[in-house]
Amino acid sequence: MAKRALLLINRHSRRGKRLFGQVVDILDDLDIELVIVRAKSSQELPDLIRLHSSNIDLVIVGGGDGTLNTVVDSLVETGLTLGILPLGTANDLARTLGIPLSLPEACQVIAQGRTKSIDLGWVNGKHFFNVASIGLSVHITEKLTKSAKQRWGVFAYAATALQAISRTRPFHANILVDGESLRVKTIQIAIGNGRYYGGGMAIASDASIEDERLDLYSLELEHWWQIFPLVWTFPKGEHGLLPWVRTITGKEMRINARKSHTINTDGELTASTPATFRVVPQALKVLVPT
């Protein structure tokens, strides 16, 4: 029996517009019945999922982590299974789940893969897949343009980060985890649910999107040269070995600061402090390789 799927592709993503026709042809050959709708913007996608939820078996989303972040709440609400076509710049959720970046192979996963339940992060009513962060990453998101991502791909993150670091000032925050309160002076606090974020950096060396925990790190730099060891520790999630990086794990965390700070979830600015963060175990079903 053929699967019936709602196909949502962000045609503003790095490869979405160019590969749309190819996606339709491949999925049709794999005997997936497609419901194709046009959306003027990614903000319309959650309502489209709710509108078609009673007539489909799954939702196929083509785009990057930001597009996936846009639809995550509607997927939780409807209980539909997610199929991922990694057509964005960083594709960190696909990387975490082992989904191939090759379009034909990713389509094969949707047609023949297995269903897996994954954890989600939650902050102030908003779900997220990969990471929520405060400070430096917010400045990077504000400066990172669509044209830069389309032209330079994942290298655009690194170039923008170097510009943002020079202008980011430390801030004071209170972190409450499992009843313990910590006062920190930091340039960034990141709270991860999955494994990868920011184009392939690991939130922790043993992080998993099924471990039912959140992984927090706080960058408490005092000298400019402390930035450089992060370059080779972040990809493996070994930044916690550095004395100026505080790491904490827990199921629920709360962050407050003297003034309100914007929160970045999966590359989108969606919330602000004061904020409560939780892990929601096995919150969403996703198609992954067998």
More confident residue, 267 or 98: 98
CB-based contact 203:233 (threshold 8 Å):
no
Residue 290, SS3?
Answer: coil
Q: How many CB atoms are closer than 10 A to CB 169? A: 7
* CB-side neighbour CA atoms (13 Å) of 284: 33
* Domain 3-112, CATH number (from 2.40.110.10, 3.40.50.10330, 3.40.50.300, 3.40.190.10): 3.40.50.10330
Check: CB of residue 36 under 8 Å from CB of residue 88: no
How far is the first Cα of the chain from the last one, in angstroms, to the nearest whole number?
20
pLDDT (average), residues 150-178: 69
Query: What would the CATH number be for the domain defined by 126-281?
Result: 2.60.200.40
144 by DSSP, 3-state: which? Answer: coil
Q: What is the mean pLDDT of residues 152-168?
A: 57
Q: What mean pLDDT is reported for the chain?
A: 89
The amino acid sitting at 105 is: E
Q: What is the DSSP pairing of strand 262-265 with strand 180-186?
A: unpaired
CB 8 within 8 A of CB 27: no
Model pLDDT for residues 13-69, shown as the tens digit of each residue: 656 677 888 999 999 999 999 999 888 788 999 999 999 999 999 999 999 999 999
pLDDT for residue 158: 57
- Is the pLDDT reported for residue 239 higher than 60? yes
Is the omega angle on the peptide bond into residue 229 within 30 degrees of 0, that is, cis?
no
Write out pLDDT tens, residues 191-238: 999 999 988 899 999 999 999 999 999 999 888 788 888 888 988 999
Helix, strand, or coil here: 88?
Answer: coil
For the cut 60, the answer to whether the pLDDT of residue 151 exceeds it is no
> Domain-by-domain residue ranges, the chain?
3-112, 126-281
Give the pLDDT band (50/70/90) at residue 138.
Answer: confident
* Nearest of 287, 283, 280 to residue 116 by alpha carbon: 287
pTM: 0.90
The pLDDT of residue 152 is 47
d(CA 7, CA 85): 10
Asked if 123 and 132 touch (Cβ cutoff 8 Å), the reply is: yes
pLDDT tens, 113-134? 999 999 999 999 999 999 999 9
What confidence category does residue 149 fall into, taking pLDDT thresholds of 50, 70 and 90? low
The predicted structure's pLDDT at residue 166: 61
- pLDDT (average), residues 146-168: 56
